[in-house]
């Protein structure tokens, strides 16, 4: 009995030691794996009109962005990430719905000063906020909405529990007046008076949201205005007044633009600081990107084209994923697009979705934790009289006047049209685009 008891104790001790050792092994190797113990928080930060080369880690030298550069060093830098649209509204519609923006009828920009002001994202649309909210998440949007001016399209009707921001395409950074001369700063369903530089207000409300929801899983969409025009720094005067959206620009736009991006980066640091203060860094996926390419005042990394064009400079954007302890630093060349974020966030959060709900976007969560390749697919863009289709390195641009083909592996700047040498490729890509248009429908909002 004494011998058996001793053996039992020995076996028990060995079992305990094995369990402890195994636990340490698992913890030591959890980096690079999708955690499954708790629902992670998700923070999505979207810059406005920030070009592919607009921050230091993507090649910008004049403008200092230390916090975004640190995020890049410690996370995944995506080098072939694209916006669904070459302008604001379409990309945001695709982001919220996980589908091509044509499906929600928002292919063009919703403007403050014409009949598009009456349109918006229909509340029947399934959105990332609705889905995450149904799966136990607290949801918030701070900043730019641009998916409907009318109250019926307000973010709170699209699944967001909390909204501090503006509904138009841009507002004066100080007076908060939109392009038609209307004051545009909201708290949920009410217009409220709140003084402050817009970038700072968006950042502060984001930090508050993190503090207030630190004990529950949350989805926070930080939609910065920066560096969209009007170009105004912190200490510049207000340019717009009530009753008119017209204004005289600041004299030194480049100085103002530089400050706008740097203040946004400063806000990025405050958001990361709030996560650290609340011990949330290891349970929060942070994703940063832009809604489209830059205007000529910005930096598109030497790419041909700009905002509103379907050349690479109009829709190839910086994108960074960070999750302390789970995502290993690196670089990904995978071809991704804005609408992929919704299914990816659903996967990371292990959210339940009705079986009949399908998305055009695809889940790329596995490459966050394992540098594997995704299956090839074809991507499509359509805006005004421009059309584009991308398959592997081949990109076809279809305009009213001509059709051009580029090999992006050899000619990322889209300078050398090789359509005459690859007529079979042209035909195949045209056929794919025509088939996509049949599925997506020709209907679209009037564009200007």
- Could you give the C-alpha distances from 110 to 53, 191, 211, 215, in angstroms and in order? 27, 19, 33, 37
CB atoms closer than 10 angstroms to residue 207? 20
Q: Is 88 among the catalytic positions?
A: yes
pLDDT for the residue numbered 428: 98
Contact 347, 103 (CB under 8 A): no
* Cα distance from N-terminal residue to C-terminal residue, the chain: 91
* Domain range list for the chain: 41-375, 379-440
Q: Is 158 among the catalytic positions?
A: no
Q: How far, in Å, CA of 148 to CA of 151, rounded?
A: 8
Reported as type and span, the H/E element at residue 44 is strand 41-47
Model confidence, pTM: 0.91
Contact 158, 117 (CB under 8 A): no
Q: Copy the structure tokens of residue 301.
A: 């990394």
- Residue 444, classed as helix, strand or coil, is coil
Q: How far, in Å, CA of 197 to CA of 398, rounded?
A: 41
Single out the catalytic residue among 30, 61, 67, 146.
146
* Domain 41-375 homologous superfamily, CATH: Alkaline Phosphatase, subunit A (3.40.720.10)
14 burial type by CB count under 10 A (0-12 exposed, 13-18 middle, 19+ buried)? exposed
- Parallel, antiparallel, or unpaired: how do β-strands 386-391 and 138-144 relate? unpaired
Q: How far, in Å, CA of 138 to CA of 338, rounded?
A: 22
pLDDT tens column, 113-140: 899 999 999 999 999 999 999 999 999 9
Q: How far, in Å, CA of 143 to CA of 186, rounded?
A: 9
**CA nearest to 419, candidates 435, 402, 438, 405:** 405
316 secondary structure, DSSP code: B
Q: Which residues contact 149 (CB under 8 A, 6 or more apart)?
A: 110, 112, 117, 118, 120, 167, 168
Q: Is the peptide bond before 93 cis (omega within 30 degrees of 0)?
A: no
Q: Which residues contact 250 (CB under 8 A, 6 or more apart)?
A: 231, 232, 233, 236, 239, 256
Single out the catalytic residue among 88, 176, 205, 315.
88
Contact 403, 419 (CB under 8 A): yes
Q: What is the DSSP string of 123-157?
A: TTS--HHHHHHHTT-EEEEEEE--SBSSGGG-GGG
Q: How far, in Å, CA of 220 to CA of 217, rounded?
A: 10
Three-class SS of 51-120: CCCCCHHHCCCCCCCHHHHHHHHHCEEECCEECCCCCHHHHHHHHHHCCCHHHHCCCCCCCCCCHHHHCE
Contact 238, 174 (CB under 8 A): yes
Q: Can you name the CATH fold of 379-440?
A: Arylsulfatase, C-terminal domain (3.30.1120)
pLDDT for the residue numbered 37: 58
- Parallel, antiparallel, or unpaired: how do β-strands 336-337 and 386-391 relate? unpaired
Q: How many CA atoms lie within 13 A of 280 on its CB side?
A: 27
- How would you write the pLDDT of the chain (448 residues) with one tens digit per residue? 333 444 344 444 444 444 434 333 333 344 455 555 589 999 999 999 999 999 999 999 999 999 999 999 999 999 999 999 999 999 999 999 999 999 999 999 999 989 999 999 999 999 999 999 999 999 999 999 999 999 999 999 999 999 999 999 999 999 999 999 999 999 999 999 999 999 999 999 999 999 999 999 999 999 999 999 999 999 999 999 999 888 999 999 999 999 999 999 999 999 999 999 999 999 999 999 999 999 999 999 999 999 999 999 999 999 999 999 999 999 999 999 999 999 999 999 999 999 999 999 999 999 999 988 999 999 999 999 999 999 999 999 999 889 999 999 999 999 999 999 999 999 999 999 999 999 997 655 444 3
CB atoms closer than 10 angstroms to residue 26? 10
pLDDT for the residue numbered 441: 79
pLDDT for the residue numbered 34: 56
- Could you give the C-alpha distances from 85 to 43, 51, 92, 144, 387, in angstroms and in order? 21, 13, 8, 16, 11
pLDDT tens column, 18-70: 443 433 333 334 445 555 558 999 999 999 999 999 999 999 999 999 999 99
Q: Copy the structure tokens of residue 431.
A: 């056929």
Contact 398, 388 (CB under 8 A): yes
CB atoms closer than 10 angstroms to residue 407? 17
């Amino acid at each position: 009995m004494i011998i058996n008891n001793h053996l039992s104790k020995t076996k028990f001790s060995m079992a305990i030691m094995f369990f402890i050792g195994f636990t340490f092994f698992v913890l030591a190797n959890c980096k690079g794996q999708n955690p499954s113990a708790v629902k992670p928080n998700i923070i999505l930060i979207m810059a406005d009109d920030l070009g592919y080369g607009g921050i230091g880690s993507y090649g910008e030298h004049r403008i200092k962005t230390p916090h975004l550069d640190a995020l890049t060093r410690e996370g995944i830098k995506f080098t072939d990430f694209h916006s669904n649209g070459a302008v604001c509204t379409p990309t945001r519609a695709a982001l919220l719905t996980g589908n091509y923006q044509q499906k929600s009828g928002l292919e063009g920009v919703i403007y403050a000063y014409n009949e598009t002001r009456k349109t918006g994202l229909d509340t029947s649309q399934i959105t990332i906020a609705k889905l995450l909210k149904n799966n136990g998440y607290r949801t918030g949007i701070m900043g730019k909405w641009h998916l409907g001016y009318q109250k019926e399209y307000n973010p709170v009707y699209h699944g967001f529990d909390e909204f501090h921001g503006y509904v138009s395409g841009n507002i004066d950074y100080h007076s908060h007046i939109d392009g038609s001369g209307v004051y545009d700063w909201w708290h949920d369903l009410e217009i409220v008076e709140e003084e402050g530089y817009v970038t700072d207000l968006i950042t502060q409300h984001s930090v508050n949201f993190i503090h207030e929801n630190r004990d529950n899983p949350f989805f926070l969409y930080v939609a910065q205005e920066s560096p969209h025009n009007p170009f105004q720094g912190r200490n510049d005067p207000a340019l717009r007044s009530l009753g008119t959206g017209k204004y005289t620009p600041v004299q030194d736009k480049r100085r103002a633009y530089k400050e706008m991006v740097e203040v946004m980066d400063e806000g990025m640091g405050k958001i990361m600081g709030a996560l650290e203060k609340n011990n949330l860094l290891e349970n929060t996926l942070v994703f940063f990107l832009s809604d489209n390419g830059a205007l000529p005042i910005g930096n598109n990394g030497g790419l041909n084209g700009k905002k509103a064009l379907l050349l690479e400079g109009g829709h190839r954007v910086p994108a960074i994923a960070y999750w302390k302890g789970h995502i290993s630093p690196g670089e990904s060349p995978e071809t991704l697009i804005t609408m992929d974020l919704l299914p990816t966030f659903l996967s990371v959060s292990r959210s339940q979705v009705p079986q009949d709900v399908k998305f055009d976007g695809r889940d790329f969560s596995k490459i966050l934790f394992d540098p594997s390749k995704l299956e090839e697919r074809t991507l499509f863009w359509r805006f005004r009289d421009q059309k584009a289709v991308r398959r592997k390195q081949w990109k076809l641009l279809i305009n009213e006047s001509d059709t051009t083909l580029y090999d992006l592996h050899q000619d990322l700047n889209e300078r050398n049209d090789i359509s005459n040498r690859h007529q079979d490729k042209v035909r195949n890509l045209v056929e794919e685009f025509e088939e996509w248009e049949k599925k997506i429908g020709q209907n679209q909002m009037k564009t200007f």
